[in-house]
């Protein structure tokens, strides 16, 4: 199991700072969910971890900085499920999952028999056999999402990043995708960082929430500490009620203010 730490991490695009001094430590096997309004810097933080966006400060994996590693080595440690993944048309499901093996193949090399059987194994475990031979163009949103998660699992990285993994899915497929991540996380001891909009789901599945606003981490902790009407009202500008179920589940319900 692998830890992930942020020391004063900042991300800038074209002179605009998207993330200001983010500091946090994610324990091995922990699921941290980053919440916050649109443009708060959630995706930018995830993109910094993948190496897509350059960052200031330090991001440490098991205590050593990410920037000290080659892009291949980093991809062996960190798998990324983007918000709107590109599934190239004409590719079969199995070929798409095979892309996850790229960090283990040298620049001029080709996938070995081990890589191929690894992919077969992931496809069997995630119950994707019926998608393996199909063109990714013909798949539904839920099927595509399962395939993208399968690609990330084939990457065998101890850290899994999810950017809005459920935003394009109906409630059934949302649950299916998050249950899959949760199951894989327990089986493999994955450390998970996800950005999510659905606060109730974020609270149910994660161990801890970090609320971001305008690039700053403004609150963090367990769901019952972060998902409070005053906090959400201040940073999302919303009016909500928060229910606590008997099992500890926090439910966030928007108030219909037009009636008042």
Interface residues with another protein (CB under 8 A) are 13-14, 47, 50-52, 70-76, 78-80, 82, 85-92, 94-95, 97-100, 102-103, 105, 107-111, 113, 116-117, 119-121, 123, 129, 132-133, 155
Q: Which is nearer to another protein, 103 or 215 (CB)?
A: 103
Give CA–CA dist 228/234, Å, rounded.
10
Q: Which is nearer to another protein, 123 or 232 (CB)?
A: 123
Please say whether the beta carbons of 216 and 163 come within 8 A.
no
Q: Please, what's the b/e burial string for 221-243 (b: 16 or more CB within 10 A of its CB; e: otherwise)?
A: eebeebbbeebbeebbeeebebe
Supply the minimum distance, in Å, between the C-beta of residue 181 and another protein.
17
Q: Which is nearer to another protein, 91 or 218 (CB)?
A: 91
Q: Which is nearer to another protein, 116 or 186 (CB)?
A: 116
Supply the minimum distance, in Å, between the C-beta of residue 178 and another protein.
21
Supply the minimum distance, in Å, between the C-beta of residue 258 and another protein.
40
Q: Please, what's the b/e burial string for 125-152 (b: 16 or more CB within 10 A of its CB; e: otherwise)?
A: ebebeebbeebbeebeebbbbbbbbbbb
243 CB-near residues (< 8 Å, 6+ apart): 250, 251, 253
Q: What values do phi and psi take at 121, rounded to 5?
A: -65, -45
Q: Which is nearer to another protein, 120 or 224 (CB)?
A: 120
Supply the minimum distance, in Å, between the C-beta of residue 98 and another protein.
5
């Amino acid at each position: 199991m692998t830890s992930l730490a942020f020391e004063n991490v900042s991300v800038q695009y074209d002179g605009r700072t998207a993330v200001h001094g983010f500091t946090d430590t994610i324990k091995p096997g922990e699921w941290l969910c980053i919440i916050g309004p649109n443009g708060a810097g959630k995706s930018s933080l995830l993109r910094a971890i993948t190496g897509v966006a350059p960052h200031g400060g330090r991001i440490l994996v098991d205590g050593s900085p990410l920037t000290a590693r080659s892009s291949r080595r980093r991809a062996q440690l960190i798998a990324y499920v983007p918000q709107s993944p590109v599934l190239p048309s004409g590719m079969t499901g199995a070929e798409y999952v095979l892309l996850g093996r790229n960090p283990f193949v040298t620049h001029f090399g080709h996938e070995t028999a081990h890589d191929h059987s690894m992919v077969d194994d992931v496809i069997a475990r995630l119950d994707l056999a019926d998608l393996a031979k199909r063109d990714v163009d013909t798949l539904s949103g839920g099927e595509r999402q399962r395939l993208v998660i399968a690609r990330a699992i084939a990457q065998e990285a101890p850290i899994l990043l999810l950017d809005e993994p459920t935003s394009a899915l109906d409630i059934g497929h949302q649950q299916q995708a998050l249950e899959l991540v949760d199951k894989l996380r327990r089986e493999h001891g994955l450390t998970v960082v996800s950005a999510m909009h659905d606060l109730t789901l974020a609270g149910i599945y994660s161990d801890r929430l970090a609320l971001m606003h305008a690039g700053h981490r403004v609150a963090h902790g367990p769901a019952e500490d972060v998902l409070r009407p005053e906090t959400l009202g201040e940073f999302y500008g919303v009016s909500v009620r928060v229910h606590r179920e008997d099992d500890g589940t926090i439910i966030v319900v928007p108030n219909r203010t037009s009636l008042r």
